[in-house]
Amino acid sequence: MKFIPTPIPDLLIIESQVWKDDRGFFIETYNQRPFDAEGISATFVQDNLSCSHRGVLRGMHAQAGPNAQGKLVRVLRGRVLDVAVDIRKHSDTFGQSFSLILDEHEAKSLWIPPGFLHGFLSLEDNTLFAYKVTGFYDKAGELGVRWDDPDLAIDWPFTPSELIVSEKDQQLPFLKDIISPF
């Protein structure tokens, strides 16, 4: 595994090696040893999987408190624009976002530590998105910010009328209206 820094400290792109032959391919999607070598002491407690139609936007979410979540995310089928926003209040990159395309063809994942909002836009129908998380789901710890917050200025590649956003996500506050617990 190769860990690639992003412009935001602690947010990492991870490239896994792909072994291909005439049968197909093999990818080791997770191994604790390289994470330990990078100084990431993550213990994953839950795996999640979502399937989304083209245009579905899920986000921007975080989980705080005793079950704050770090996330290791990847696409198993399809393609997404994946976005993370730093909401660590003492960070030099507070409020800054980072985005990249994750798809089924590249062996890339994104490590999103606690203290980040996360969201993604499905760019293809039937996109399967996998999350390994370090905290159990806890409704009391849910935190979110609107996907269209002008202060975040995330460049979503679809027009608002092309997006499918849950009612809950449309009701989220703007970043300036929350107090970050991180």
Looking from the CA of 72 toward its CB, the CA atoms found within 13 Å total 21
**Residue 155's pLDDT is what?**
96
- Distance of alpha carbon 178 from alpha carbon 20, whole angstroms: 47
pLDDT for the residue 89: 96
Question: How far apart, in whole angstroms, are the C-alpha atoms of residue 171 and residue 153?
Answer: 18
The predicted structure's pLDDT at residue 12: 98
For residue 143, the model assigns a pLDDT of: 96
C-alpha–C-alpha distance, residues 70 and 5, integer Å: 16
> Which residues are 164's β-sheet partners?
56
Q: Are 38 and 26 in contact (CB under 8 A)?
A: no
On whether residue 46 sits in a domain, the answer given is yes
**Whole-number Å distance between alpha carbons of 17 and 38:** 17
Specify the pLDDT at position 141. Answer: 96
Whichever domain contains 141, its CATH number is 2.60.120.10
List pLDDT tens digits, range 111-133: 999 999 999 999 999 999 999 99
At residue 29, the pLDDT reads 93
By the 8 A CB rule, do 9 and 91 touch?
yes
Domain membership flag for residue 182: no
User: Distance between CA 109 and CA 103 in Å, rounded?
Assistant: 9
Instruction: Assess if residue 83 is contained within a domain.
Output: yes
Give the range of the structural domain holding residue 59, as residue numbers without chain letter. 2-177
What is the per-residue pLDDT for 2?
A: 97
| Catalytic-role residue among 53, 90, 105, 131 | 131
Tokens describing residue 162: 């092309």
Q: Is 30 a catalytic residue?
A: no
- List per-residue pLDDT tens for the chain, 182 residues long: 999 999 999 999 999 999 999 999 999 999 999 999 999 999 999 999 999 999 999 999 999 999 999 999 999 999 999 999 999 999 999 999 999 999 999 999 999 999 999 999 999 999 999 999 999 999 999 999 999 999 999 999 999 999 999 999 999 999 999 999 99
What φ, ψ does residue 54 adopt, rounded to 5°?
-60, 135
Q: Which residue has the tokens 């507070």?
A: 94
Number of domains in the chain: 1
pLDDT at 167: 97
Options 61, 90, 105, 137, the catalytic residue: 61
